[in-house]
Structure 1
């Protein structure tokens, strides 16, 4: 041989009787070096040769093409899966999940089902341990098909939707210096396989900024937008990140997608993500992306104390409320709101969580001092006994009340929140209650708001204003398309009208 040729290096793994994975690498070898090249050539001709990346298919999952990273350093194989839902079929454990088979493309979603063979704790390359479902399915690679085990995990942050590990590659020749030894696809060819068209949508491109795609409210908003012909994208807040630059500011989505081309976003930020979610909303605003609720309005509404101060400053009636820094002032704080029974609220609470009814002075002192000892901020509020465990939820959109319900607490419960087991029914509100709800949303600058009102002997009192109100309770009780009204508000803000001759 002259100069350079290929040196074969074999890895003998757990079974001594045969070679499981074969690696091929380029190296400089002098003529005459002892190496059984010809003896091995016959065996190599019978092996499947793969590169460092390959296009695979899973016929049983209806996945005709998915790009895999081939890594014999990894023991197990994994595939991208989101919205994973376990279920039973004929008494056996199964799982359904969504797969986005094309990297950096959330438009293509395939719903898959497979029988679960195990659930294992797998340590990722970053060292994080994760409990994953394991399935066994046929893998098609080139002209060959064989069964492999796959763990299901979210690979949005990875460069490939699939990882092919060494357990799935018995008797396979791996040439890490090559790619697509079993055939390549261009991005356009892959899109055509999944029937992805690049025709310009006549609708808007709207991002739903939230945390859980399976929530009723989020699913309804996506459905309502798509029904009107808009391109809807669910954007997990935790998977978005920002680039601040004078000339080219950007918002990126995990996996590399740049989100600067959105027409609008609908922020639905959970309380634990308020700081980051509002920063992200603010960045979208700086890019000229329309927001249904602005970052300032969301921030104001999430601060219970600040929002109450704004509401009272603008002449809105609220329950008598106390706030203090030191446990030394607990006695005066209790007297300030009329004594026990009273309500103690954590400033960070939501959906009825972090709200306690203290029925006696002693109980009130114990609860307040215990919370203060944890360095948590709280409000003390008068208890409206005559409300009898009921309150009103008014859904305000663009200066109009689109739906109203009365929420009734579950037996033995004082909180009327649906998430605390309360029930809801359609209710007709008074002109005074309507005025209070509309003014509350306007005061905090919210285009969309869930305004909670309690009926008292003094008249209607404003309890709270929610910038991300849930839809399930109010839509179920009223049969009103609240999600559709939210999409209408986006269209109105952007002065968008359905193009003539287009049937959406």
Structure 2
């Protein structure tokens, strides 16, 4: 003690008796103002006329089998800027913190911290007047051995006869892929990460096979979740077709992924299904440039490479001269392009509606950073929770169905003409939408597979 203050290391074990959390590792950070607790499946409710919130927590990092169901009085909702730059609205609770032999009441925000190194962040507001930090030390109040953790956290999930599910992707460290693997394991399934480039196939009328590095045969899988990067669409979809030929359930089919990646064909499909899009032109000759610009209402307009991926090859042309220059430059490279009207009233914002198995499970509004233009895909900026209109939900579900996708990220822009559909993504990322909404999107994807097998 120093002046009756508790001395903490940069990492400490603490507990929350009122939440039923016997111990959790915390990052002690005096540079952070607010404390934050990892939480998923967050849901507000009314209890005896008061506002409460219930949530689940996996208190041990990298352990998704141990889960605690918590509830606490809700004292506030605040917009907080996360370390990844997203502004998200978080629920705030007040509960008792215990550190060693000391305890006091603190405020904490609830947020999904799966991508962080600690399930708990202890900020300076919670320590003010009570504790000091020695950043060179750790666990000054005691460390918890593995055996002690096992005593405190017996596995509360019952073992089940699960499915064998393969995640067909490229990077096992990507947030989305880690979350899907964790969600499947948490629900009792045997998960296997399958690197697309390390899979190869045997085409044979009698004994078709898919092999993985070292010669392991993958024919015994129950289901596959394809998450295929745009630059490897051809081979990834070939593998997905092979899994389908082996009667292995694929959450998104190869044909659905293929047509969603063809920008022109996908827009034609959407129009044929009565879904409005921004006015779009397509041509294959530089001689048509002037009329092509007039066709979409003049400048400003957006020029897109037809084969562009993840926001690349998308240019905003604000003047006719700039538009002609960009279009002709692309044409000189024999590149196929789309020219699309620019929706000024959207003001750099669009909606991402996440559709799973015919239902919108989460929605966020995305806004580009000041001075940045990201057209249809936001690779940065901020994300916030927003309630979509009934019409926007109908459009999103209809678009996913038109593409044949069970899982889709549907991007919509609000215009003076009503909602317009920009793009349908067959491998939508989870980090932004889970972080902003605190919803277990990965778990919903696993449930969609279970529904196909009637697993409860």
Calculate the TM-score normalised by the size of structure 1.
0.58
- The reply on whether 1:245 has 2:196 as its aligned counterpart is no
1:128 maps to what in 2? none
User: Partners in 2 of 1:266 and 1:328 — Cα distance?
Assistant: 44
1:412 maps to what in 2? 371
- The reply on whether 1:463 has 2:422 as its aligned counterpart is yes
The correspondence for 1:401, drawn from 336, 360, 366, is: 360
The alpha-carbon deviation at position 416 of structure 1 amounts to 6.6
The CA deviation string for residues 441-469 of structure 1, in whole angstroms up to 9 with x for no partner, is 01111000000000000000000000000
The alpha-carbon deviation at position 304 of structure 1 amounts to 0.5
In the superposition, relative to structure 1, how do residues 464 and 419 fare at CA in structure 2: closer, same or farther (>3 Å)? closer
2:257 maps to what in 1? 298
1:389 maps to what in 2? 348
2:283 maps to what in 1? 324
The correspondence for 1:262, drawn from 212, 221, 227, is: 221
The CA deviation string for residues 56-104 of structure 1, in whole angstroms up to 9 with x for no partner, is xxxxxxxxxxxxxxxxxxxxxxxxxxxxxxxxxxxxxxxxxxxxxxxxx
1:287 maps to what in 2? 246
Q: Moved runs in structure 1, 4+ residues, more than 4 A?
A: 416-419
Root-mean-square deviation (CA, aligned residues, Å) is 1.3
User: Partners in 1 of 2:240 and 2:337 — Cα distance?
Assistant: 27
The correspondence for 2:168, drawn from 203, 209, 215, is: 209
The CA deviation string for residues 147-186 of structure 1, in whole angstroms up to 9 with x for no partner, is xxxxxxxxxxxxxxxxxxxxxxxxxxxxxxxxxxxxxxxx
Q: Match of 2:283, SS?
A: coil
Q: Which runs of 5+ in 1 are unaligned?
A: 1-199, 498-504
Contact 1:266 1:292 in 2 (8 A): yes
1:38 maps to what in 2? none
Contact 2:364 2:437 in 1 (8 A): yes
User: Partners in 2 of 1:278 and 1:491 — Cα distance?
Assistant: 23
Q: Which has the higher contact order (CA 8 A, sep 6+)?
A: 2
- The reply on whether 1:377 has 2:340 as its aligned counterpart is no
Q: Match of 2:372, SS?
A: coil
Q: Match of 2:351, SS?
A: strand
The alpha-carbon deviation at position 418 of structure 1 amounts to 7.3
Contact 2:376 2:422 in 1 (8 A): no
Calculate the TM-score normalised by the size of structure 2.
0.64
User: Partners in 2 of 1:412 and 1:351 — Cα distance?
Assistant: 19
Q: How many residues align?
A: 298
1:220 maps to what in 2? 179
User: Partners in 2 of 1:331 and 1:236 — Cα distance?
Assistant: 46
- The reply on whether 1:313 has 2:279 as its aligned counterpart is no
Contact 1:391 1:416 in 2 (8 A): no
Contact 2:353 2:364 in 1 (8 A): yes
- Choose 1 or 2 for highest CA Rg: 1
The CA deviation string for residues 461-490 of structure 1, in whole angstroms up to 9 with x for no partner, is 000000000000000000000000000001
Contact 2:305 2:313 in 1 (8 A): yes
Contact 1:407 1:417 in 2 (8 A): no
The within-5 A match list for 1:77-156 is none
Q: Match of 2:411, SS?
A: strand
User: Partners in 2 of 1:408 and 1:257 — Cα distance?
Assistant: 45
2:404 maps to what in 1? 445
1:424 maps to what in 2? 383
2:431 maps to what in 1? 472
User: Partners in 1 of 2:336 and 2:197 — Cα distance?
Assistant: 26
1:350 maps to what in 2? 309
2:446 maps to what in 1? 487
User: Partners in 1 of 2:325 and 2:185 — Cα distance?
Assistant: 51
Contact 2:367 2:383 in 1 (8 A): yes
The alpha-carbon deviation at position 378 of structure 1 amounts to 1.1
In the superposition, relative to structure 1, how do residues 331 and 386 fare at CA in structure 2: closer, same or farther (>3 Å)? same
Contact 1:475 1:481 in 2 (8 A): yes
Contact 1:407 1:416 in 2 (8 A): no
1:188 maps to what in 2? none
1:82 maps to what in 2? none
Q: Which runs of 5+ in 2 are unaligned?
A: 1-158
User: Partners in 2 of 1:415 and 1:274 — Cα distance?
Assistant: 23
Tell me which moved more, 485-494 or 418-427. Answer: 418-427
The alpha-carbon deviation at position 419 of structure 1 amounts to 5.3
1:365 maps to what in 2? 324
The CA deviation string for residues 221-277 of structure 1, in whole angstroms up to 9 with x for no partner, is 000001111111110111111101111100001211110000000000001111111
The alpha-carbon deviation at position 282 of structure 1 amounts to 0.4
